[in-house]
Amino acid sequence: MRVRHLAPIEILLVEDNEGDARLAAEALAEAKVSNNVSWVLDGFEAIRFLRRQGEYSCAPEPDLILLDLNLPKKDGREVLAEIKQDESLRHIPVVVLTSSPAEEDVIRSYDLHANCFITKPIELAQFLKVVRAIEDFWFSVVRFPRKVARRT
């Protein structure tokens, strides 16, 4: 028996490529499970979003982060390190979704406690298939903790 989520899954998409972000958001919009996607273009904005700073003061806490590694302003590796070092954020699963196939990026991401590493396919159909696989696993199989009061 599957447990249905009462509230939508909150997803933070950290992606500087507008085309990839649009495709991911469209694929997630067709998800079987209700979700809300927030999108930021760079690592600096991702940290501001997660810490609810400035215009993000009312931002929802994500249940899942989809993180590109090659970002402007603040690299995705730096963002991942900050998330996993912050006691109030480290519980949020981070899926590295990047164009980099480099073995050193895979190793470094897992060393920084990424929950999984996925190389973005170049072909559109494969990219959509990957996003749907993320949705199938993270929203149908994985159990998220109940939201608790945010520590400050």
Please determine, for residue 4, whether its predicted confidence score (pLDDT) is greater than 80: no
Task: Give the E-state strand segments of the chain in sequence order.
Answer: 9-14, 35-40, 64-67, 94-98, 116-119
What is the structure's pLDDT at 137?
Answer: 82
Domain boundaries, the chain: 9-139
pLDDT in tens, 104-142: 999 999 999 999 999 888 787 788 788 888 877 887 777
Residue 38: DSSP 8-state: E
Please determine, for residue 13, whether its predicted confidence score (pLDDT) is greater than 70: yes
**Which tokens go with 69?**
């590694």
| Domain 9-139, architecture per CATH | 3-Layer(aba) Sandwich (3.40)
Nearest CA to 26 out of 131, 116, 108, 149 is that of 131
pTM of the predicted model as reported, rounded to 2 decimal places: 0.86
pLDDT, average across residues 48-73: 94
